[in-house]
Structures are given as structure tokens and as C-alpha cells.
Structure 1
Amino acid sequence: MSSLPPLLSSLVKGPALLPIIQADTPHEAVAIAKALADGGVGSVEVVLRTRQALAAITAIRTALPNLLVGAGTILSAADANACKDAGAQFLVSPASTPKLLEAMIATGLPLAPGVATPSEIAMAYEYGLREVKFFPAHLSGGIEMLKALSGVFRQVKFCPTGGIGQHNLAEFLALKNVFVVGGSWLTPANLVKAQQWGQITALAAEATAIARQIKTAA
């Protein structure tokens, strides 16, 4: 197995936020990313849910070189390698299997594989991973589950994603075993479709203010 890549927490910039970008075109992706950056966000995750996702990663890296840009919805070795080639600086998956973990680790990129159960966390731990994505957070026990897991997996840090918004962001960030919080609440589809970039910037600024009061990424 390849040596472990750097920790994602060592790369995440600014507030401990990892908003999701889902865009139909590279141009739209850059507009979303710029709106988030204008609101103080330093890191984003482009999800592989559209045909132009890989091109979107490359476009954001070019247009906003100071923004940390990763790829999400990694489901295979092919996904992981394609995202690396497109310029992704880290990888996030919604789930974990041995083959997927090995493929993501082999890229040498920082990663946060998806977990929802103690067994999945233990599997990632056996691979030497100490940072994982807790998904879907709200359906997998949320804050109480993360509190329970903290007593058992004391060296593991989480990126909870799913069901998080401005209303509960502070509660998640206050947990000691949370290093960053992900989600799509800063980039709602209706605002993207209407090209309401100013409103996305306002949401990002509000979230950034909350995050900076509680936790700032390294």
C-alpha cells in the first residue's frame, strides 16, 4: 500500500468550511467559487455529479489559484485518478470500501473517505486514516453520534456533511472531533440557477463569521 498522503486538515484554508459546488458548466463553477471566496470561504469541494465536473475543477484552479479545490463523490479508482489529473487538491468520497480507500490513498492526495458506522471508521483506521467524512450526518446520528464516537475513536477527526445549515453549524463546529464541516447549504440550487451570486456571498459571509468564532482551520 502507498504511504499515507498529508492530512486534509493541514491544507484546508481559512474558516473550517467545505461548501459543495455542483455546476453544469465550468463558467458556472467559477462564478459559484468566486461568490464563496468573496464571502470568506477558502476551500471548496466540486462534486462529480455533472458531466462538466472535471472541467469545473480545472477552471476554478485556474481562475482562483488561492482557493483550495477538491473533488467529491469519488466512487472508483478511475474517478480518483481523473480528479487528480484535473487538478483536484484533495479527494472526498461518500462511502468506503477497501478498493476505494486503496485507490484514493494511491493518488497521494489528502482525502476524507465517507463513513457512517463504527465498522467503516474502523476500516479506515486500519488503513492509517485519521480523517473521514461523516455522511449523511443528520441521518447517521448527527451531533450525538459524533459525541459518542469521540470516546472510542479518539484519534479520528470528522467532516460531517448532510443536513447541516446555518441553524446548526455552530453546534457541529464546537465538537472537538470535527475539523471541518461540509455541505451544500451555501450553494442552494435555486440561487445558482438564478445566478444570485450576491446572495451566495452573503450566506458564505454569515457562515464564515460563525465558523471563525468557533474554529478556524489550520
Structure 2
Amino acid sequence: MSKIREIMRASPVMPVIVIDRVEDAVPLAQALVAGGIRVLEVTLRTAAALDSIRAIAAAVPEAIVGVGTVTRPAQFAEVKAAGAVFAVTPGLTEELAAAARAADMPLLPGVMTPSEVIAALGWGFDAMKLFPAEQAGGIGMLKALGGPLAEVLFCPTGGVSLESAPKFLALPNVGCVGGSWLVPKDRVAAGDWAAITTLAREAAALRG
């Protein structure tokens, strides 16, 4: 699955995952997949991230494991070597765009303003993460962007909840949403994988 739009369409919600302990990576991924959520964004926010990606890629073949919080060009080669099949950035520069192309890695770049959307289109991207979604204007911003920039498919991330996700997903220019509510830190710390699967099942049902 090489195209970012295909990846976005594989799950209505892309969980934004922060893993503190490598030993949690595989059971967490298995719990999400069991609930019907296959697309996983493991963020590069902890020292355990790269090893967690390696573990998930090796042990949970049903998962489409990607990496988030990519902010430096050199990270594309690192995460691809670890087994990630797509990347997500909080913003986009020409250097990051070039590095993604060089690594031949599907990228979901972060944008917040119309000018950033136009710049991303110029670098060859027509699928983007609206981030932070609520601060960027949320539903209203996406509706406004849908007129002059109708060719862009968005994954709004940041402030999206189980309650608000259906309103985002109902928009024609939204392919999926990003959310951290599927992986609450207390449930992960407790190893309550059944609770994670329940949350994933609720999220997977949002596409109807």
C-alpha cells in the first residue's frame, strides 16, 4: 500500500500513539487491529519509538505502521529502515518534501493555513494533515478550504474526539481523522488492552 490516500482510507481514525515502553508496542498494536483500526501513527516523541516501530512491523503484519512527528530530513531513512511504511509531519518544508521523495516514503504533511496548503500542492502533495485542527479552525476551516482547494484530502488532527470525529468525517474533503483518545496513557500503562480494543471498535464504526 504505497499511496497515502489509500492508507488514509484504510481506517477512519489514525491513532496518534506515544509509546514509552517498547514492551507495550506489540500488544497495543494488536489491540488496535483487533478493534478494526489498522493504520497506526507511532510518534517520534520518545526514546522507545524506533524500537517500537520495529517490533510492530515484525510482529503485527496486519498493521499499517507509520511514524509521526517527523521533523528532520534524516529521519525518513531511519524510520523506513525500522519498518515504517508512511510518515506524518507536523509541518512541511522543501527539505522535508525532498527527503520524503528520496526515501520513496508516502508522506502526510502537516499544514495549517491556505498558503501552506498551496505550498504543499506545489511540492506534489494532495493529501495533508490539518494540524492543529481545532486551532486552525476545525470544521469551518475545512469547509472553507473545500471550495478553492477541493483537490486536497485532509486528515484533521489535534483536538478531535470521538464525539466530534463524525462531523469531520462527514466532510467530502476529509479522508480520516487523527486522534489520541484511542490510546489513553492510563490504559496503556495498565496494560488494559481490552479497553483499547473497545475504543478502537468504536472508532472503526465511525465510517458506518
Offset of 1:133 from its aligned partner?
Answer: 0.7
**Residue 10 of structure 1: CA displacement?**
1.8
Distance in 2 of aligned mates of 1:6 and 1:128: 15
Q: Which residue number corresponds to residue 31 of structure 2? A: 35
TM-score for both structures, normalised by structure 2: 0.96
Give the drift of 1:7.
Answer: 2.7
Task: Give the aligned CA root-mean-square deviation in angstroms.
Answer: 1.4
Instruction: Say which of 158, 161, 175 aligns to 1:162.
Output: 158
CA distance in 1, matches of 2:70, 2:79: 9
Give the one of 185, 196, 203 matched to 2:199: 203
Shifted more, 10-19 versus 59-68: the winner is 10-19
**Which stretches in structure 1 are left out of the alignment for 5+ residues?**
214-218
CA shift digits 1:162-204 (9 cap, x unpaired):
1111101110111110111112110011211122111111111
| Alignment-mate amino acid for residue 67 of structure 2 | A
Matched, 1:11 2:7: yes
Aligned match for 2:86, one of 77, 85, 90:
90
For 1:20 and 1:32, how far apart are their aligned partners in 2? 12
Distance 1:15 1:77 in 2: 27
Which whole-Å CA distance do the structure 2 matches of 1:98 and 1:59 have between them? 31
Q: Cα 1:28–1:156, aligned 2, differ >3 Å: closer, same or farther?
A: same
TM-score normalised by length of structure 1: 0.91
Q: Where in structure 2 are the equivalents of 1:54-93 lying within 5 Å?
A: 54-93=50-89
Quick one: which of 13, 22, 26 aligns to 2:22?
Answer: 26
CA distance in 1, matches of 2:135, 2:192: 30
Tell me the residue number matched to 1:53: 49
